[in-house]
Structure 1
């Protein structure tokens, strides 16, 4: 009996050790549940970022609509002001012509006044015997009789009154034209002031149009960036959802294994009369442990192993100089991933930028290294996955899959691709 009890105890110990040994190097259900919770939280953050990006896109669209209306109004105002400017220029031209005509009219009146004075002088001279200048009184006193005196006096008076009236009329005409000229000059000044003001308004509107167009370009660029960000976030959410499902499947598998292990333990405890069977069962459990250990994924030198190594660790935070699953920087992740495949590569972007063979992007295949000119030439690196996607450790997202066909990464990719194998 003592020997049987000892055998049974050994068998139980072997069975328990085998079961525990299986979990020594594997994740527990609690670990997986924690990982699932983390993934759910990450998805919630990503989905919130997606909604925020959508909100920003809508705000940008609203601003663009308002800006287009503003540009349309500016164009209408500019056209109206330009029409007013054209009309004002025509008025200025007509007014300048009018001022010129009035100036010529004044000059003509001044000539007429001067001619009138010469006529008066000639009339006076006609009363002088020798053609010299005499005064009107001498013409009258030169009369030979009373009749001639009266006749000459009347003639002189008529001449004086006529000449005086003519000169007065001409002076009045000159004053009238001068007044009209001043009025026209005042109108011309107003028109010229209006021209100056209109030119200033047109310049201001043109400046406003330039500023509005620049703002519209900036908003459209922002819209493109936000849409690209939405795409990247949607991709990230899909990857997280896939990872979350994988973790759920692992949890279900672990729970199934635990139920099977519980059945095995119960079988051991009820086999007091069948020690030999217990030994065989323990041996099978031990053999099963070895088989599971052998079936664990190992680096086999295949690049596909390096490609797939990172998927189980998506979301690992970015850490400068990091080369472990606790945290990666971009080159540290490459070094770690290829190490899982049994391939030794440098751990810096400088070293990786000359590893293997440089190939054109058109020939890029999954597993090739792609470089980006960020803060410096070849400042960032990732593993190409095909279809314009790559996996790498980024400052903003940590270890993640990103799209290099548009947005930020497209702008930083200069075509540098290297093949390690």
Structure 2
């Protein structure tokens, strides 16, 4: 647009330079100058008409950019809320881990006490004859039937006590193992949440940068079109003033010509003078605006989307095309009808949605997507394959390969877009993991 503006200014100013001063010339020359100015005004009016068309296009783009900015700002707000939730989850998880550690310590204390009891019992057995006292030997040592019954009861209690101690011991050992496993799992989840938090904060910075760039682009285009129209209006005003000056001089020239005619031909009837006056070309009432035709804005026919047959890899690849340029990256996005309608996806949510358009159900999380289908070497990569990237973490990003070294996905800074994985950032972060679904 700047180039157009420079060319237009140069052309019109060169034209205007020829009319900086209008010398005293005859009527024919004035008519010629007037016609030339009218032609230049016609060109300016045409340029103004084209500028209006361009302004309409810019305003339409402004609507689109404003909608995109609103989506990005909403995504930033949602991601901020998610960061706060993650921070609260981390605090809650830490509290759970501490509680589990306390419970483990209590269980360990019970186990230690039972170990001491069992140890003392073993020592007692050894002190009585330096060998363990067998239960049968105790029973056979009875002096009477009554004594035997008592000894049976005593032995039963001892056996039951031992069994209870052992059962409790085993149960506590099992419980402590389960709780230790739970602690380890929660600690792993905690580390994962921390990683996600760092990733979200990085994405948030990229989204803010995207918003600033969109706003700057919008302001630049508006300023350019405003400057163009202002310049064209000034030039049209200048030409109109020149035209009016020539028109005035023409009128004055016509009056002088009529006066000379009257003196030279005193006997000429007044009707002749009237006829000459009425036949004078280009009367002052002639308005240049009636001669200027403004080009009407040309409306382009809407582009019709080519329907894609469902159920194949082309469906998956082309499903997201309608979101290119009017979507936004949101952590956890693409899993609700509202998100999908408003173009709010994260990388795995978009992949899952795209495949769903072909009737293929996939998990909506990157970690799970690694395990679907089958892995193939990068040398055998085909359109429709899932490709993974080590961004803020290993396999932190996933997209759909479309061929030619490119993939489509929901990128953090652009929303749904096609990116080149043959060079730059995506080449450096591609980790070689390729998963084939079809």
TM class by smaller structure: 0.3 to 0.5
TM-score, reference length from structure 2? 0.46
More helix by share: 1
